[in-house]
Amino acid sequence: MQTRTPSLTTSVVARRAARGRPLYGEPMHGTTPRELGPAGAQALLTELFEPGADRLAHSIGVGRRAEHVARVLGQPELLVSAAYLHDIGYAAAACDTGLHQLDGARYLRTLGASGELTGLVAHHTAATVEAAERGLDVALRREFPTPPGELLDLLTYCDMTTSARGEAVTVDERFERIYDRYPPDHLVSRSMQHAEPGLRRIVSGIERRLERSLG
């Protein structure tokens, strides 16, 4: 039988359990919709991802980047919340179909998230391309209409310029690391290759806007 050495994570989990808090992967459901503004979004992340997990670091990095972008370009808080929550579909509590954008949006819908928020999460970073690979494009579009382009592009920009560990990176570095991580015939690699020209266009467009705004 496999045994696990007690770790920092184990002790954190034990402390949370002792305080009556749920274990990671078990969100605190209430009777009213969750508050999913930027602070509520960050709280949910810490409930669903273990401390030190790459997904947590990446999500926080994307959220921080969105805070900067929202400040510079005068965008609403919705962008920041969506950025913190965009990869929530990778959490054990949310993962279902394997298309993390769809799983995340469905999960947030169960928490009472607005259609604007679920739409952004559902469609970020060329979701429709991977959805088509998985045969889920019809379900994705039927359940979550594509949101207006501007916020979606800004969210995608934040995701595509933040590494898996949450550091700011160029879009070249981001693609390089994705292709290093997944073999060429992997569904994620294939989807990213297909989506790459469009994603690069989005990133360079937003970079120009940010440069103009920052003077």
Toward Fe ion, which CB reaches closer, 50 or 159? 159
Q: Residue 215 and residue 209: Cα distance in Å, rounded?
A: 10
Q: Residue 70 and residue 156: Cα distance in Å, rounded?
A: 13
Q: Residue 82 and residue 54: Cα distance in Å, rounded?
A: 18
One DSSP character per residue, 9-76 reads: HHHHHHHHHHTTPPPTT-----SSPPP-SHHHHHHHHHHHS-TT-HHHHHHHHHHHHHHHHHHHHT--
Toward Fe ion, which CB reaches closer, 78 or 88? 88
Closest distance of CB 30 from Fe ion, Å: 27
Distance of CA 52 to the CA centre of its chain: 16
Toward Fe ion, which CB reaches closer, 87 or 103? 87
Closest distance of CB 50 from Fe ion, Å: 17
Of all residues in the shown chain, the one whose CB is closest to Fe ion is 159
Which residues contact Fe ion by CB under 5 A? 87, 159
Closest distance of CB 76 from Fe ion, Å: 20
Toward Fe ion, which CB reaches closer, 50 or 87? 87
Closest distance of CB 96 from Fe ion, Å: 18
